[in-house]
Amino acid sequence: MRVLLISTYELGRQPFGLASPAAWLREAGHQVTQLDLARQKLDEGAVRAAELACFYLPMHTATRLALPVIARVRELNPRARLCAYGLYAPLNAERLRAAGVTAIVGGEFEGELLRLANGADETPAPLPAGHERSADGFVSLARLSFRVPDRAGLPPLGEYAQLRMTDGTLRTVGYTEASRGCKHLCRHCPVVNVYQGAFRVVQREVVLEDVRRQVAAGAGHITFGDPDFFNGPAHAMEIVRALHREFPQVTYDATIKVEHLLQHAELLPELKASGCAFVTSAVESLDDAVLARLEKGHTRADFLRAVELMRAAELPLSPTFIPFTPWTTLAVYSDLLKTLAELELVEHVAPVQLAIRLLIPAGSRLLELEEVRGWVGEFDREKLAYPWRHPDAGVDELQRQVEGVVALIGKHDTPRAEVFGAVCALVRDLSTEIPAWTPPPLAARATIPYLTEPWYC
């Protein structure tokens, strides 16, 4: 069968979510075309030839971008079967079905895509072990024997986000996944809606061979895209030890929860020694009331302790935030800025992280909270989220202004400290009640390595 795999956006990296199923499909003899529309134009010839067109939807932005592409694919090839897969496919099943998608796949999607390509319909019976079906579509939590991702036909790694080192040089970045899903149930996280506290490992040799091939293609740095690299710390450490033995010159980064940084503090020096350039951690807020509502599993004090541990290990921490929530006040936001300055973390935080507004997608666990249900409006089918307004209009206005500043001056690779200073000025202008404090002096250059594409959803 002629299968077309399409990605619209995956955080500036070469899409693992195309390369992994491509390996399965090609192994079975199917003709596969991979299109990354973040770097390539829609190939209308490939669209017209496709018998099965599959859209990878790992995130909210990718899903919104995919909707007009789905319409165009239907227009060019009304005979093709359409499938949507990835975390956000089940969450937006109703909207996707209205757009003409007939197969919705969540969780461990490779086996189901292969089954569809082999000619099965969208409603198999009986279901294999480890699979579920609901109105949201087909979700697999099966334990798969993965294939090494096949990246043939994708743009070269050099066309994707790079790692900017502290001396200003750039490294080509590869991307892989050592595990999927997550053991935790944070209210705002889309992983929870699909995996419900489960996580699945990708076999060690598959991960390492994927790394080998990307290093051969020019990668000098690897991003591990696991929702939490320390969901399985033994598995993760086996992989980075083997990576460092084979490629001691290659660096890497990973995402690890604050609570796991504390629980596995003894592993932090080894991460540093094995080539970890930095660790991303979804801190979300420094306000304990917000953290409790999000069920993040850590407190402000835990974050402060994690900063100490990471500094002791000389391992850079890159925290991410959702600074604007219905519970954020101007004082809370000002405290976030002041704390980042006091901890000397300004250069560690991508400017976009100062502007992010809480997203409430379909199926979000946030809707379990009565106060949230009282704040949100009707689901917006175009934005694929529940709209909400802050009780204090001034906070919403601040968010809009911060977003504008970040978009305007941040896109020119402006030093992070300069963007931070502009955001601090906005807060002082909007509220005379916020205690005055002096932001840090501007840094002459980046003080930690960072990816040239900001991390957001």
Asked if residue 11 has pLDDT above 70, the reply is: yes
Burial string for 340-350 (b: 16+ CB within 10 Å, else e) reads bbebebbbbbb
The residue ranking higher by pLDDT, 54 or 192, is 54
The residue ranking higher by pLDDT, 120 or 287, is 287
Q: How confident is the model at residue 140 (pLDDT cuts 50, 70, 90)?
A: confident
Q: Are 297 and 249 in contact (CB under 8 A)?
A: no
Distance, CA of 192 to CA of 161 (rounded, Å):
27
Ordered strands of the 450-451 beta sheet: 317-321, 276-284, 251-255, 221-224, 170-176, 162-164, 450-451
Asked if residue 440 has pLDDT above 80, the reply is: no
Pairing mode, if any, of strands 2-7 and 131-134? unpaired
Q: Are 103 and 52 in contact (CB under 8 A)?
A: no
Q: Are 279 and 248 in contact (CB under 8 A)?
A: no
Distance, CA of 14 to CA of 157 (rounded, Å):
7
Q: What share of the chain is helix, strand, coil (3-state, %, to 5)?
A: 40, 20, 40
The residue ranking higher by pLDDT, 302 or 438, is 302
Asked if residue 412 has pLDDT above 70, the reply is: no
3-state SS class at 332: helix
Distance, CA of 221 to CA of 18 (rounded, Å):
20
Give the pLDDT confidence score for residue 138 in this predicted structure: 79
Give the pLDDT confidence score for residue 164 in this predicted structure: 93
Q: Are 414 and 399 in contact (CB under 8 A)?
A: no
Distance, CA of 343 to CA of 320 (rounded, Å):
15
Asked if residue 126 has pLDDT above 80, the reply is: no
Q: How far apart are the first and last CA of the chain?
A: 33
Mean pLDDT (the chain) is 91
Mean pLDDT on 278-306:
97
Q: Are 393 and 400 in contact (CB under 8 A)?
A: no
Distance, CA of 238 to CA of 267 (rounded, Å):
12
Q: Are 194 and 107 in contact (CB under 8 A)?
A: yes
Residues 6+ apart with CB under 8 A from 446: 164, 166, 168, 347, 415, 416
Mean pLDDT on 18-30:
98
Q: Are 403 and 355 in contact (CB under 8 A)?
A: yes
Q: How confident is the model at residue 411 (pLDDT cuts 50, 70, 90)?
A: low
Q: What angle do CA 152, 178, 61 make, to 5 degrees?
A: 70
The secondary structure of 345-392 as a DSSP string is: -GGGS-GGGGT-B----TT-GGGGSHHHHHHB-S-BTTTTB--B--SS
Asked if residue 136 has pLDDT above 70, the reply is: no
- pTM for the whole thing? 0.93
Q: What angle do CA 62, 63, 66 make, to 5 degrees?
A: 85
Asked if residue 444 has pLDDT above 60, the reply is: no
Asked if residue 121 has pLDDT above 70, the reply is: no
3-state SS class at 223: strand
Asked if residue 453 has pLDDT above 50, the reply is: yes
Q: Are 358 and 387 in contact (CB under 8 A)?
A: no
Give the pLDDT confidence score for residue 133 in this predicted structure: 45
Asked if residue 272 has pLDDT above 70, the reply is: yes
- Structure confidence by residue, pLDDT tens digits, 415-429: 888 899 899 989 888
337, 342, 387, 338: which is closest to 362 by C-alpha? 387
Q: What angle do CA 270, 275, 276 make, to 5 degrees?
A: 80
